[in-house]
Structure 1
Amino acid sequence: MDRLLYQRNLSDHTIRSYGTDIDEFHAFLEREGLSVGTFKYPDARNYLSSLYDKGLKRATVSRKISTLRSYYHFLIEAGVVENHPFLSLPFPKKEKALPTFLYENEINALFESLDQGSRMYLRDKAVLELLYATGIRASELITLRRDRIDFNYMILKVHGKGNKERIVPFNESAKASLLEYIEHFKKHIDHNDALWLNYRLEPLTVRGLRHALDMMVKRSAENFDLHPHKLRHSFATHLLNNGADIRAVQELLGHESLQTTQKYTHISKEQLRKTYLRTHPGNQKR
């Protein structure tokens, strides 16, 4: 766990997932009367089958296998074991599920449905504006500090995965909402040394953010699940649908691989229809 934290700079959430996966693996070893040293490749295949028997998604199974590969690399380096039973074990093929996103009219309806009488209306509006304007992750939003917001140039300095920093621009609408929120809650923001506040005027957590988004949807007439990543998906999809360069979107999202960004190149049926009507020669008047 120390190596994951200090050498690989993984997030607390990822490290907890590693710990859970390793604990589950050791429970399997105990049930089977095995140890990390006696565990061999055939046992690894049995373990893979046991994960599928639980009905886990392929992405979850892949993560657990990846965890145990890293674990055995560590054990070999430490001289605890000699063989790596997971090295030749194939990863499950990835499920090709497209990211879900909101259409522009759904985004507009969400903003319009915000309860202006709510104590946290200004916060909710600023949160929505910033998530949709920048596509930043929930963890990046929660850890954002005022001194990392440049209102003159309208850019954020964001600490992303692996403690990597990137610059993300935001728009006039997000700027206005942020300034209004900060001005109204300035005393409590200063007292907590945290930009985002919960209903008790204490620092907002990622869990609290998800709850706030759930409440926004419940107060609206829209029928969909809303989580920070759906706004991130919407941000990327709308940029690409409107002609943004995919490498620019990759940079804005903080993706290391272009392949990760390419999943957002799916387009809405309406966008597809518009493109067809605009570009197909047969649609031109003769």
Structure 2
Amino acid sequence: MQLNGKVAVVTGAGRGLGQAYARALAAAGAAVVVNDLDGELAEQTAEGIRAAGGRAVAEHSAIGSTEAADAIVATAVGEFGRLDVMVTNAGVLRDRSLLKMEDADFDVVVETHLRGTFTCARAAARQFKEQGGNGRLILIGSPAGQRASFGQTGYTASKAGIVGLVRTWAAELERSGSTVNAVIPVALTRMVATIPGMAELVEKADKGEPIPADVRAGGLGTADDVAPLVVFLASDDAAGVTGQAIGVGGDRIAIWSHPTEVAVESRAGGWSADAIAEVFPTAFQPHLQPFKPDTVPGAPEGK
């Protein structure tokens, strides 16, 4: 898979999944703008790419504002002449359950994840249009946005919103040839190290030790297992893939379904509460949807 001549931005690329995406895109031939709030980490990642023979520059904007998004795109155009791929990976966590969630904790998570995805995608889409289209928006979601994730009110709201944006933006940008997709990654990174039972697996991944086969088969691996999907979606081979949420982790890749009606009943003249109660057990109860996440072999239940 070759991305020669393409220019990519990866936000939040100083470590973890973002770093893996940046490295993989560069290894495939793309020039990469490595964004991270931690300037030192961004510089280290960019230097590592250059040392391996790739092209990369570091960029230190805090994701969220329009000004930051415009600065990131301007860096790509100024350094490499164009922009072809925007990977919106930057994020923060402020985990609290609903009753304990403070406004400031909720706001900073939504600002970075959801608003940051919006501002960066908008800035990139404007540049794609100026270049004649055919750009790639790759938005990073999370299983937390697809299923319940206890204690992650702001994070789940943001990640679910991002997948909703994928469908809308795919429809809006289709005529220009630009694609919009979400990657739903599952990986052993520092963000999951605090989950009970996961620290040992994260330590194995950090040391480069093999991940147990049953864990990998269940869809949990390293950041490097996720990166190839990002490279594919950035490529010309993925020109016909848009509006999708694609899960990846360990040995598994999966297409997530779009929300759709699973049970429908009509009643002439409308419904009373009593009428709903009468038909609900047989017409609707069997179709109620699960909300808790699937489990991964070797991982604690619920994550």
TM-score band, normalised by the shorter chain? Answer: under 0.3
Who wins on radius of gyration, i.e. which is larger? 1
Say which structure is richer in helix: 1
Say which structure is richer in strand: 2
Give the TM-score taking structure 1 as reference length. 0.22
